[in-house]
Structure 1
């Protein structure tokens, strides 16, 4: 247990009169310093207050460039791996993007303040992007089918394609019909269009906002369902370095984390009640900022 967690528990016991044997906190508040360093995590939680996930463990497939599972913040979180490019079980994140996405979703508490939205999530690492960030639709489709076979709860797609593809749409529809939620990046398209598969009906299309709750200047417009933090976000790369990044792909990871917290508290995703704060035009912000309350 980290030093911070230890003192939070002591303080909670003192203030709330908790019993000595109670070791699970319902909530803790992030400090102003933490919120200044990582505005995103404090924004998606109601008034910067962390609320533990529910009893159900949520299985999240991250289709991306792979994940460095050797990093301490991700130790033990990745349950299974699949390389859809090489058709084997070995993934290697040379790009760093997949590890960044995983750190937003599920990083353990660490001194660098890269705090995962849901550290209790189970991750399924599906490599569909190469070292340059490129990917074939056929590999993405294969990764989706692999994820369906593993009966994951959420598929996170922090990338997209400019053009529609019937086979991709069919794979997405199959995932949705298997009660798998699909969360996809709307794209950094300068507001010209929304990427696929985010455009598809039933897929959560996510755009990005900055700390002032303004639209990210490169973000897509059009079919937007929700927005999440995505500008100047602290993340871990594949080398274990803390870097600051921006983009709708990061916002997608935040959205997946928020949705996974809500799913862990519900009996099924059918009655999943998403809470959002309206921010403006639907083409820019959709239903608004996703929140955990």
Structure 2
């Protein structure tokens, strides 16, 4: 049986849209299928093991267990009067959008949302932001000072080193320290934590993402940033996101790069701030998903940030827009730690720069996140 996991971990995600693949195709062994079993009362490891299940995770925030079980046992577990539901686990992965060369010497996204104007007032100090992604290169000279730990659910250890680069780029947009390459983060003194839930190819499992959120609750994070998503609504993910929100964590996730498709999950959940991406001219990017769930937009095209091995580079996607919003939330909470998640969302909505049709719309939500206005009107 896999351990319930050791405290402290980290992880990442790119501009990508997370694609969900049938769990039946992702069979773990010849006769065992990855599933998530939720109980009506306390989760029961013994029942799962009695039916041949191999335990992967026993979640803390919801009464659920991720396990690999014989195919014939799935219907038996579903019929158990103490079981609320059984859903197939699913494999997820990310895509990147193309980026184009740029001579910008500063991160245009940070200045576009006016974050640089408030660093003398708030820089994110004391706020714990966990990046659930491919991990973070915590040796990067512009991230090392702000890195405070994490966990690797891909390899089941306490070393969430990034081996893909996506999480490192996301982390830099949130909290890269001031530097000479022009890649300073939105909240350059925020505390970064990494939970690695996606592997070197940017692929992973819903059960691992759920475990990462569970970790964030246990470790008392302030902000969860997820530049990932998928097209399928999982009850277990809905419930664990709600549990995190109810515990006082502000959750931010990418709307997805489905080229105008539906907002992906977990961004589509009510407990999560769904973020879409804008271009240099403040227009909705061609790759961004749209829908009523969009709450805010942020720069997501040709974003300069940290990369593996101590460098920097450009990436595009709703993955890149998401950390801009996560960083602004860190600025807000650093200035006023008493704000509840609902209050944070109200402030960001009321102070966003309206784009597109007047008022909230399916392309821009409440508008472009505005750090200066948010801090001034908190």
Classify the TM-score, shorter chain.
0.7 to 0.9
TM-score normalised over the length of structure 2:
0.66
Q: Which has the higher helix share?
A: 1
Aligned length: 259
Distance of 2:281 and 2:106 partners within structure 1 = 14
* Partner-residue secondary structure (3-state), 1:73: coil
Distance of 1:66 and 1:54 partners within structure 2 = 23
Which of the numbers 223, 229, 239 marks the counterpart of 2:299?
Answer: 229
Instruction: Classify 1:54/1:99 alpha carbon distance in 2 versus 1 (closer, same or farther; 3 Å).
Output: closer
* Alignment match, 2:355: 279
Distance of 2:301 and 2:323 partners within structure 1 = 13
* Alignment match, 1:21: none
* Partner-residue secondary structure (3-state), 2:276: strand
User: Is 1:96 the counterpart of 2:165 in the alignment?
Assistant: yes
How far is 1:55 from its partner? 8.2
Mean Cα deviation higher: 273-282 or 252-261 = 273-282
Distance of 2:274 and 2:222 partners within structure 1 = 17
TM-score normalised over the length of structure 1:
0.85
How far is 1:88 from its partner? 1.3
- Kept in 1: contact 2:124–2:187 (CA 8 A): no
* Alignment match, 1:238: 308
> 4+ residue stretches of structure 1 with deviation over 4 A?
none
* Alignment match, 1:78: 147
* Partner-residue secondary structure (3-state), 2:287: coil
How far is 1:56 from its partner? 5.7
Which structure has the larger Rg?
2
Distance of 1:93 and 1:250 partners within structure 2 = 16
* Alignment match, 1:65: 134
- Kept in 2: contact 1:35–1:41 (CA 8 A): no
Distance of 1:192 and 1:160 partners within structure 2 = 12
Aligned 1:99-114 pairs, distance under 5 A: 99-114=168-183
User: Is 1:132 the counterpart of 2:201 in the alignment?
Assistant: yes
Superposed CA RMSD: 1.7
* Alignment match, 2:111: 42
